[in-house]
Amino acid sequence: MTKEFLDAKARQPFEFYAAYYPPIYAGKKALTIEDLIDGLRKVDGFSVFYHVFHPVFSSHVIPYDLHNDFAFWIRDELHDPSLAYRVSDVEAVEPKTVEQVREDIINILEESDNKNKGKPFHFNTCRPVVFDTGIRAHSIGELIDILSNITMRSIVYHLVFRRVMGYAETNDFSAWLIREFQADKVAQSISMLDPQTYNSEEKLRSDILSTLEKVIFS
C-alpha cells in the first residue's frame, strides 16, 4: 500500500455504529472452580463476552496484569495466581469466537485441583444496545482521522463484538479495507490484534492507529 490510497474513495463508506452492554444478572453464581465450570457451560455467549472483554470497553478496573473477571476472582478469592494467569492469558485473536474462548477457559479450569471456596462470583450477561453514530468514512484517510477521536464503544463494537459473537467472520475494519481497497496486508495486521490482552481503551486505539500507519507508511 502507498500513500495515494489514503484519499481514494470507497464505493461504500464505513458506517460507524456503537454499542452499550448494560449488565444483567445471569442467575448463576460460583463459589468454587467446579461451580465456575458449571456456570461457564450454562450461561449464554453474551455473559462470556461481558466477563472476558468488558475491561476494554468500560471503566471497570481489574488489576493491570489480569485481563478478565474470571482470572481476577480466581486469584483474589481462590488464592490461585498460577491458574488465574493461565485463564487471563487465553487468546482471543481472530478467528476465535466467544464460544471458543469459553471452551478454552473450561479446559484450563478442568485441569485444576483447586478445592478452595471464596466469596461468590456472580455471572452477569448483557443485552447490547446498538446505535448508529451517523459518522461515515469514505476513504482510509478519513477512517484514520475518525478512529483517532471516535468513542471506544464504536471501535470495540466493530473490532471485537461482531466478530467474537459470530455476526461477522472478521472484524469490520479489516472486512471493509479488503472489500473496498483490496488492502489485505493492513487488514491482516489489524486482525492480529488480540482484544483479550487489553484492559486499556486508549492503548487499543493507539495500537490500531499505529498498525494502520506502520503498514501504510512502510
Q: Can you tell me whether residue 211 is helix, strand or coil?
A: helix
Q: How far is 35 from 49, CA to CA, in rounded Å?
A: 19
Q: How far is 23 from 153, CA to CA, in rounded Å?
A: 15
Q: Is there a contact between 138 and 2 (Cβ–Cβ < 8 Å)? A: no
Q: How far is 44 from 50, CA to CA, in rounded Å?
A: 10
pTM: 0.90
What DSSP assignment string belongs to 145-200?
A: HHHTTS-HHHHHIIIIIHHHTTS-SS-HHHHHHHHHH--HHHHHHHHT--GGG---
59 has pLDDT over 70: no
Q: Can you tell me whether residue 91 is helix, strand or coil?
A: coil
Confidence at residue 63, expressed as pLDDT on a 0 to 100 scale: 62
Confidence at residue 52, expressed as pLDDT on a 0 to 100 scale: 92
The whole-number average pLDDT for the span 150-161 is 94
Confidence at residue 195, expressed as pLDDT on a 0 to 100 scale: 86
Confidence at residue 197, expressed as pLDDT on a 0 to 100 scale: 83
* pLDDT tens readout for residues 14-58: 999 999 999 999 999 999 999 999 999 999 999 999 999 887 766
